[in-house]
Amino acid sequence: MKKTLPLLAVCAAFILPVQAHAGGEQIKIVGSSTVYPFITVAAEEFGNSTDFKTPIVEATGTGGGFKLFCSGLGEMYPDISNASRAIKKGEEELCAKNGVKDITEIKIGFDGIVLANTKEIDRYSLTKEQLFLALAKQIPSEGKLINNPNKNWSDIDPSLPNVKIEVYGPPSTSGTRDAFVELVMEPNCKDLPEFKAAFADKKIRKKVCHLLREDGHYIEAGENDNLIVQKLQSNPKALGIFGFSFLEQNGDIVQGSIISGTEPTFDNISDGSYGISRSLYAYVKDDNIGKTSGLQQFISELVSDEAAGEYGYLSEKGLIPLPINELTIMQRRVKSLVDQSVTK
């Protein structure tokens, strides 16, 4: 019995702090793994430059993030959820059902999706339509839908190189993949008469349009973009699909393909002329402002010129900043949100 007493004391010492834990003293952030590399930089800067604790950032994916975010109010649940797309209606409903009624959307910038290959061979110049014909599971041919027969790029357009179509890209669970099929596949596919004839229902047609081929020409290479870059090194003929920041970091070995005549550069994505880019968001719970310590300062920091501005530290990390007027709107939105909570 004498021996078990200290053991019990030790056990109690572990359990007690749990109950004493007041909560709300550290910002909790969940959400998209695309936003993760940027929001963590802001979190670290915030932790370094203020007396608040460094926020915890979990990369759960956009959908997983909203699921946690919308689970309820209180310090157990995240204060901010990042997303590489706008919140869906179903997610808003889930939030409302669990008492999370007021959410504020903060747009923090853009991310470009690039198709890149190694610098050992020439840069590709493709159009979105050619990409659709190269990667779709089914393509129209003589009024009917057939399984994609294109083997080489030159099968699509004789001006393209006579090289096997090989594209490494993310799996269907990835937000990058969602954005890619939405921006490249869908616009080329949904209005084609062959698809309209075969799939009258809009929803089903959309789903079919999002299908990528599975016969070895589109290769799912996992969620890790670094892995795709490595694969491009070992297979110089292949293209890879990944986020712009990875292109910037690996600019010594890979080059981004020109899409519809526009090169994926910082400026081209920023002014919207590069066709495959998406907005990145952070969603904040209004109720937690003023409750979670440091939250109002953190969101103010997130949209400040030093962070999200044209020469901010987030742009150093590869985030494409918002145009000045949009950033001002976001800054005003955050300010009014913070002011509201003060008057409350």
Q: Which residues bind other proteins (CB under 8 A)?
A: 7, 10-11, 14, 17-18, 21, 26, 28, 33, 36-37, 40-41, 43-45, 47-49, 53-54, 56-59, 76, 223-226, 243, 245-246, 248-253, 311, 313, 316-318
Question: How near is the Cβ of 103 to other proteins at its closest, in Å?
Answer: 20
CA separation (Å) from 212 to 110, 209, 272?
A: 24, 8, 26
How many residues in the chain?
A: 344
3 state SS of 96? helix
Closer residue to other proteins in complex, CB, 36/195: 36
Nearer to other proteins, 21 or 97 (CB): 21
Residue with tokens 């359990």: 15
What does R_g of the chain's alpha carbons equal in angstroms? 23
CA atoms within 13 A on the CB side of 267: 1
Tokens of 333: 């939105």
Least Å distance, CB 49 to other proteins, is 8
Least distance to other proteins, CB of residue 298, Å: 14
Nearest residue (CB) to other proteins, 8 versus 200:
8
Q: How far is the CB of 110 from other proteins (least distance, A)?
A: 16
Identify which of residues 75 and 186 has a Cβ nearer to other proteins in the complex. Answer: 75
Output the smallest distance, CB 121 to other proteins, in A. Answer: 19
For residues 190 and 48, is the Cβ–Cβ distance under 8 A?
no
3-state class (DSSP) for residue 269: helix
Q: Look at the block and give the residue holding tokens 């742009």.
A: 315
Q: Which is nearer to other proteins, 26 or 340 (CB)?
A: 26
Considering the complex, what minimum distance in angstroms separates the CB of residue 244 from other proteins?
Answer: 9
Q: CB–CB of 269/110 below 8 Å?
A: yes
Report in angstroms how near the CB of residue 126 gets to other proteins at its nearest. 23
Are residues 185 and 136 in contact, defined by beta-carbon separation less than 8 angstroms?
Answer: yes
| Tokens matching residue 290 | 């003023």
Q: Are 152 and 163 in contact (CB under 8 A)?
A: yes
Minimum CB distance to other proteins smaller for 57 or for 334: 57
At its nearest, how many Å lie between other proteins and the CB of residue 285?
16
Instruction: Show the 3-state SS of 130-155.
Output: HHHHHHECEEEECCEEEECCCCEHHH
Which is closer to other proteins, CB of 8 or CB of 342? Answer: 8
Closer CB to other proteins, residue 77 or residue 124? 77
Which residue's CB is nearer to other proteins, number 149 or number 311? 311
111 — phi, psi (to 5°)? -130, 130
Q: Is 55 exposed, middle or buried (0-12, 13-18, 19+ CB in 10 A)?
A: buried
Least distance from C-beta 74 to other proteins, angstroms?
10
C-alpha count within 13 angstroms, C-beta hemisphere, residue 318: 21
